[in-house]
Amino acid sequence: MMFTLDRTLTLERREADVFEGHTDQAYWNLIGPYGGWIAAIMLKAAMQDAADGFKPLIVTVDFMKAPGEGTIVLRRRCDRAGRTAAFWQVLLETPDGTPCARALVTLAPHRETLDFSNYRMPDVPAAEQVEPFDPSFLPVKWVRSYETRIIKGQMGAENADTHSLVWIRDSDDRPLDHLSLTALADSPFPRLFLATGRPSNISTISMTNYLHATSAELDAVGDGSVLVDSRCERAGGGFYDQHSKLYSPQGHLIATSKQMVWYDRAP
């Protein structure tokens, strides 16, 4: 069985460091692909031919222009590859050479070291105890690729703060890996929508994902849900930030994500 995400992330190599892919309506936002999907396909280009044991560690994507439906071209360049890390740049373009997104991807092997964190997973009901969210009223298609269970931060209602707690997984039971974790990191609903109770014009400018999970931790999640804990620290001047922590059902912090988002909502 080919899962939806893998089908849409198919790449064809045109040159050693040039790949061709295609956008897909399964991960469509309002005017272009869902940002998490863009980050995932750029990560996949960087991971082609990765050295044994090298896994994604950091993925930063700057979103410059939404690509349209059809063919996209991904060009990559390795700036440096050493024993402890490999540093890649990836550019996503339209076939006529218009740049749409640029990514910096760091790959590195995990080692046995001291393990510590200042964060613990919030005390929340298990995913199976939370009612699934019905996304049918939303105008974007990508949400249907996920099964979402909202504990806090309901869409369509004005919230006292912009904090949300959501269990989420691929709706077709795809097991979690670094690609799908990268895509999931962009899944929290816009903080502005939660603060005001209604949609406004927004656009993510930049997103950085830190992928903490080991392969064993991802395997333990399998096709289960991931808890996404998201907040906004400041909105003003036409931009707001969004900070998310992603936890496995076993309680491990498996990723953190930071975004800067443009918006045009008047006071």
Q: What is the rounded distance in angstroms from the CA atom of residue 264 to the CA atom of residue 267?
A: 9
Provide CATH code, domain 4-109+127-263.
Answer: 2.40.160.210
- In Å, how far from its chain's centre is CA 124? 22
> Among the residues of 157-246, which ranges form H helices?
178-184, 191-196, 215-221
Is pLDDT at 48 greater than 90 in this prediction?
yes
Assigned token pair, 262: 């443009």
Q: What is the rounded distance in angstroms from the CA atom of residue 223 to the CA atom of residue 180?
A: 11
pLDDT digits (tens, 9 = 90+) for 163-181: 999 999 999 999 999 999 9
Contact 103, 182 (CB under 8 A): no
Can you give the pLDDT at residue 265?
Answer: 80
Percentage of residues in the chain having pLDDT higher than 70: 100
Can you give the pLDDT at residue 155?
Answer: 77
Q: What is the rounded distance in angstroms from the CA atom of residue 64 to the CA atom of residue 53?
A: 32
- Whole-number mean pLDDT of the chain? 95
- Domain range annotation of the chain: 4-109+127-263
pTM greater than 0.85 (yes/no): yes
Contact 151, 125 (CB under 8 A): yes
